[in-house]
Structure 1
Amino acid sequence: MLPYNFDYWELGVLIFLMGIGSGMFSSPNTSSIMNSVPPQDRGVASGMMSTLMNSASTLSMAVFFTIVIVGIQEAFPGAILASFASFGSITPDVQQLVDYLISMSPTNALFSAFLGYNPMDSILSSMNPGIVNAIPQQIVTTLTGNYWFPQTLQEAFMPALRLSFIIGAVLSGIAAILSAMRGQRYIYEAHISTSDVGKGEVTRGD
């Protein structure tokens, strides 16, 4: 799996492979579904298929973000403490900042990273100026830079992301097994006898 600081060409290759895999699955799957129902029922089949796909997509996103947010909530405080411990001794003023960061909502932290926004400037400006002024300037510069927040968040984000991908891979494997167990491909065929052609009657196969 890619690290959080991946190169864009690596992401491009993975997205390309995902697109190929999606196309190889979606087209035959849709064709198989449409060919298995009578022509007059294909509108219903298409609607049911779209409903199930949209519902599954919404549910999968909800499960994904739940796993990631819970993972961040559990691991982000430890990542913050470890990062501040690397700065040296933690003074009471720095400890107040640490406590403030630990109480940060995991949702806020996650979407700040998604948007490329470092919330440290806003957090420091909302704190007591006396506390902020007592924090060593080197620490403030590091916190408000471009690297500290995403590097600290990734310690909590990446394990949760890997777990969600593993769950998705397992569910995809189960779906593939169930698909293989469905039996031979079924194609609906309309049987027209020569005697019924003149009568305008068609006998449909089940």
Structure 2
Amino acid sequence: LVLLPADFIYIFMGILLFVFGAGMGMFTAPNTAAVMSSVSPDVRGSASGMLTTLRNVGTTASMGIFFTILILGLTTSLPHTLSSAVISAGGGSTLAGEMSKLPPTEAIFAALLGINPGTVILGLLPAHVVSSIPTSAQHIIEARTWFPTIFAPAFIKSLHIVFYVGAAIVFAGAIISILREPLSKSKKTKADRKSAKDQSELPDKAVKMK
């Protein structure tokens, strides 16, 4: 997903989502089987419940963490991006200052919903300030494609940070899984311990029988 530009072609996005879904399917089934087979049959119900709970908690927590990272990234880059774009369009320093105060969350939802904050902010400014802004600059700022075009680079940059953090977490999880004791070895160890315990109890049982 990091390789996709802001104006990506949907077919490429669909291919990546298909690969992602297939990968999740190939991981989830063996992972569930490994968890269920690592516990005794009498506690598999509890293990299944804990597995589902942890997956749901992880999904919810990851959404909160990644969205927080996205907002933090936009907080540092978005104000300068918006103010520079307004000044480049000829909107003046007053409008640039107001646009730079736009919260990142509002910018995200405005872009997703197709709302141009520039039009809203122009409507909130005093009449004498708006009249001082050239008409050509107002038309540029109020254009439907102006805000998404300006917002996209800052958004993509922050989104890439989210993807990199996610990739690092997945890589760490893969390393932990590799270092985990193999299931067959774990079962063999438990069986050996049980056999040794049974053998140690045989003399005691023989004495009791006598």
TM-score over 0.5 for the alignment?
yes
The residue aligned with 1:80 is 82
Aligned partner of residue 114 in structure 2, secondary structure: coil
Structure 1 residue runs of 5 or longer lacking an equivalent are: 192-206
The residue aligned with 1:179 is 177
C-alpha contact (below 8 Å) 1:75/1:155 kept by paired residues: no
Amino acid at match of 1:61: M
The residue aligned with 1:204 is none
CA deviations over 1:136-172 (Å, ceiling 9, x no partner): 1221121122221112112321111111111110110
C-alpha contact (below 8 Å) 2:84/2:96 kept by paired residues: no
Superposed, 1:21-100 pairs within 5 Å as 21-88=23-90, 94-100=92-98
Superposed, 1:194-205 pairs within 5 Å as none
Deviation, structure 1 residue 33: 0.9
Q: Distance in 2 between matches of 1:145 and 1:14?
A: 32
Deviation, structure 1 residue 5: 1.0
CA deviations over 1:180-203 (Å, ceiling 9, x no partner): 111222497xx9xxxxxxxxxxxx
Structure 2 residue runs of 5 or longer lacking an equivalent are: 192-210
Deviation, structure 1 residue 119: 2.2
**Seq. identity, %:** 37
C-alpha contact (below 8 Å) 1:76/1:155 kept by paired residues: no
2:20 is aligned with 1:18: yes
Amino acid at match of 2:38: S
CA deviations over 1:61-95 (Å, ceiling 9, x no partner): 1111111111111111221233234335x6xxx21
Aligned partner of residue 146 in structure 1, secondary structure: coil
Aligned partner of residue 82 in structure 1, secondary structure: helix
The residue aligned with 1:198 is none
Deviation, structure 1 residue 2: 0.7
Give the aligned length: 186
Larger Rg: 2
Q: Distance in 2 between matches of 1:162 and 1:20?
A: 22
Q: Distance in 1 between matches of 2:164 and 2:174?
A: 15
What is the root-mean-square deviation in Å for CA atoms of aligned residues? 2.0
The residue aligned with 2:162 is 164
C-alpha contact (below 8 Å) 1:120/1:143 kept by paired residues: yes
Amino acid at match of 1:45: A
Question: Residues 83 and 56 from structure 1, CA distance in 2 versus in 1: closer, same or farther, beyond 3 angstroms?
Answer: same
> Greater CA deviation, 110-119 or 155-164?
110-119
2:147 is aligned with 1:145: no
The residue aligned with 1:121 is 119
The residue aligned with 2:205 is none
> Greater CA deviation, 164-173 or 151-160?
151-160
CA deviations over 1:84-141 (Å, ceiling 9, x no partner): 34335x6xxx211111111111111112112232222222212212222321122112
Q: Distance in 2 between matches of 1:78 and 1:155?
A: 12
Large movers: runs of 4+ above 3 Å: none
